[in-house]
A and B are shown apart, each in its own frame.
Chain A
């Protein structure tokens, strides 16, 4: 059973470009969470999605950031018009549908975004 897959592992974008980060949850998991980690800091929650639904986006910046988890395919975190402050590691985690809360979330290896 493959773990949570994120790609790309490293992404370099110039200021003003768009960044698309992909996350394929573990097989059988329908809950996806995105977190951002700045250097030397802990992970900060961004958004929680289930298939075709955004459940909690309280950690998402109001502008330029969006996320989706379509019925088919991976979850996408999209950052438009990137700025240097967007440089960070972005992690995706998934958990199984029938055990939400009080259960282990499995993390991917992250996408390291560098904005130049």
Chain B
């Protein structure tokens, strides 16, 4: 079936460096994408979203890039902090708000 998936299961990054998390999707009809952060024992927390009519969107310390040609999505975290340690999921939403999640990338921030 169609799915959203991630390339790397674990990303280790030094505090202060930038992090890049990648995601591939297979449904070319997808038009809305969201990145979520999930800390241990907690529910997913919205980070940033992007619609298919955009190729870049910036938030506070985060940037999402969308390449529709290769069906690729990335999340960039600037100046990674210890509090950024978590599992990051990309997801796409259908018109009913139903989310299809990727497997997740564990980000580990080292001092």
Contact = CB atoms under 8 A, between A and B. Distances in A.
A56 interface: yes
Contact of B96 (A35, A48, A107, A109): A48
Interface string B44-63: 11100101000000000000
A103 B43 CA distance: 17
Contacts, number: 65
A116 interface: no
A105 B103 contact: no
Nearest to A100: B97
A25 interface: no
Interface in B80-95: 89, 93-95
Interface residues on A, range: 20 to 34
B99 A105 contact: yes
B46 A104 contact: yes
B97 A103 contact: yes
A42 interface: yes
Contacts of B97: 31, 33, 48, 95, 100-101, 103, 105
Interface of B: 31-32, 34, 36, 41-46, 49, 51, 89, 93-104
Interface of A: 4, 31, 33, 35, 41-45, 48, 55-56, 91, 93, 95, 100-110
Given A41-B103, A93-B99, 16 more contacts: A31-B97, A33-B97, A33-B98, A35-B101, A43-B101, A44-B101, A45-B100, A56-B96, A91-B43, A101-B93, A101-B96, A103-B97, A104-B34, A109-B42, A109-B43, A110-B42
